[in-house]
């Protein structure tokens, strides 16, 4: 029986080795914050971190992951939505339908780990998640806020000004 290390707990999953990791996370472990969107690594709804790297779990097989690999899902980011990125998301009121937002947050956390002060361009290039509700502007605003740039709108203005100069 494959074993997965998810959010710091070892989980036994009763699946075939070629089962997409996403289904093991959702259906075997019951962590449904990670979503199924496209199933072909295009939309980012299924994003998780594996050993600190952003990964699209719909396109990984359970057999691609070792028991020692540390998988973190949206549920493992924090207790009570207290991660700075989650707090910024709430402050900016980013979600509309919400379906893509777990993946957006996982991508934002990954981006900020690598680039603590991203510009709009950096955000657009790094975050290729698709949002059918079109929350892209608020996503940018929340990433700036989580980066400590205070109000995201001001951060965007400063970014535009710096690109003009
Ligand atoms: S469901 Fe995995 S990228 Fe769309
Ligand atoms: S908030 Fe609806 S798909 Fe992104």
Domains of the chain (ranges; CATH) run 3-76 (3.10.20.30), 84-164 (1.10.150.120)
pLDDT bin (cut points 50, 70, 90) of residue 28 is: very high
CA atoms within 13 A on the CB side of 161: 6
For residue 10, the cross-strand partners are 5
Least confident of 37-41, 130-134, 146-150, 153-157: 153-157
Mean pLDDT of the chain, nearest integer: 92
SS3 of residue 121 by DSSP: helix
d(CA 78, CA 158): 31
pLDDT at 115: 98
pLDDT at 160: 47
d(CA 147, CA 145): 5
Nearest ligand to the C-alpha atom of residue 102:
2
- Tens of pLDDT, residue by residue over 135-150, are 999 999 999 999 997 6
pLDDT at 142: 98
**Percentage above 90 pLDDT, the chain:** 88
Residue of the CA atom closest to atom 4 of ligand 2: 131
Q: Which residue has the tokens 């980011």?
A: 77
Nearest ligand to the C-alpha atom of residue 38:
1
Could you tell me the two tokens for 81? Answer: 């939505």
Least confident of 9-18, 45-54, 72-81, 149-158: 149-158
Return the beta strands (E) in 37-104 as ranges. 47-50, 53-56, 70-72
pLDDT at 151: 55
pLDDT bin (cut points 50, 70, 90) of residue 164 is: very low
Residue 157 predicted with pLDDT over 90: no
41 lines ligand 1 (CB under 6 A): yes
CA 144 to chain centre: 16
> 138 C-alpha to center of ligand 2: Å?
11
The Cα angle at residue 26 between residues 1 and 134, in degrees rounded to 5: 150
d(CA 131, CA 67): 32
100 lines ligand 1 (CB under 6 A): no
């Amino acid at each position: 029986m494959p074993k997965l290390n998810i959010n710091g707990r070892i989980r036994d999953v009763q699946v075939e080795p070629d089962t997409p990791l996403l289904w093991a996370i959702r259906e075997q472990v019951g962590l449904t914050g990670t979503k199924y969107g496209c199933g072909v690594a295009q939309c980012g709804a299924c994003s998780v971190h594996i050993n600190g790297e952003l990964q699209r779990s719909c396109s990984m097989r359970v057999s691609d992951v070792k028991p020692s690999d540390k998988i973190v899902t949206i549920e493992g980011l924090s207790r009570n939505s207290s991660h700075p990125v989650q707090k910024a998301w709430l402050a900016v009121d980013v979600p509309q339908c919400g379906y893509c937002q777990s993946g957006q947050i996982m991508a934002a956390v990954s981006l900020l780990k690598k680039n603590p002060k991203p510009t709009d361009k950096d955000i657009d290039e790094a975050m290729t998640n698709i949002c059918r509700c079109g929350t892209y502007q608020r996503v940018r605003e929340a990433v700036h806020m989580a980066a400590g740039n205070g109000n995201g709108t001001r951060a965007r203005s400063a970014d535009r000004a710096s690109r003009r100069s």
